[in-house]
Amino acid sequence: MLTDKVRKLQQSGPTPNILVIGDLMIDHYVIGDATRLSPEAPVPIVNVKKEFTTPGGAANVAQNLLALGSKVSLAGITGNDIDATRLTDILVEEGINADAIFKDDTRPTTVKTRIMAGSHQLVRVDREVTHPLTESLQADFIERIKDNIAKADIVVLSDYNKGLFSPALTQQLINEANKQGKKVVIDPKGLNYEKYKGAYIIKPNRKELAEAAKTEKITNIDELQQAARIIIKQTGAEYIVVTLSEQGMVIISELAYKLLPVKATSVFDVTGAGDTVLATMAYFIAQGLNVEEACELANHAAAIVIRQTGSAVTTIDQILEDIERDKGR
């Protein structure tokens, strides 16, 4: 059984060393009560009760991996500002290797501020610049990261379309990983999936897949397979794993597919659930499980985090408990 295999890995399996490369950001939450409208405009007044920040984007993927028990190195770009210092301080304190995080004077550190009334998000305010890195910064980035790739068991690319993953840099990263015999798992963004050529797994959601495959809509499993195989032909990826929100996820290869139904009994907040799926898949593939087993565990991990507010993480013990609970339903 899968749970027995996972428990055995917990007891005696090696600790994976996983490299996450991606767009880094801070998630800033402002939470309060909204009981009246402003006299200045028809908008709610939020009386702030608390606010907090958490690492977001690729940094959230790294935190998810850390919670699962992995050794984690994180590479990316921040601004040269106080938010960058705050972010790296948190990561280092948690035990994440942040040696390959570069600072770019031409951009601020990306900050997403969510203003909440109780559990309801009223508005999100983004501070960001998304232009590509300069050629010299790209060259420095690649040179620095080669050693991290060499030490990693698997490489994760977390693309939030914030400027890091230009086609040229993305291909250099994937080629370097493949040259060193490391699988690459990608959470994609944007319409140009050709830049992900050489990846092992690409993990879009249904909407992202439809847009990238230039398909008007995806309403059934046949259309889903057709769209995924367009991407497989473009990229040579061995698997496309498509997250389907309330319907779970589907694993598609060139010749077959496997639908994994949703495991969530309630949905509270989907923020960061894609990061959890990405991290869980990568962790268990690095542990030697096959893609279907890794995705089954990722499906349960996603079910756990969407019951919580904001970007959340889960542990292997919680995943195993959720599997046992699911069997008893």
Identify the three-state secondary structure at position 275: helix
Structure tokens at 214: 């230039």
Placement of tokens 């907040």 in the chain? 269
User: How far is it, in rounded angstroms, from Cα 232 to Cα 226?
Assistant: 10
What DSSP state is assigned to residue 307?
Answer: T
Q: Which residues, other chains included, contact 288 with Cβ-Cβ below 8 Å and sequence gap of 6+?
A: 9, 13
**What is the sign of the dihedral through the CA atoms of 200, 205, 206 and 209?**
negative
- Give yes or no for a contact between 4 and 16, defined as CB atoms under 8 angstroms apart: no
What is the Cα 70 distance to its own chain's centre? Answer: 15
Whether 126 is catalytic: no
What the block records as the tokens of 58 is: 């690729």
The Cβ-side half-sphere exposure at 5, using a 13 Å CA radius, reads 12
- In residues, how long is the chain? 329
CB burial of 146-158 (b: ≥16 within 10 Å; e: otherwise) equals: eebbeebbbbbbb
Which residue is catalytic, options 147, 275, 317, 322? Answer: 275
- Integer CA distances (angstroms), 169 to 132, 192, 267, 288, in order: 10, 13, 36, 28
Active site residues: 275
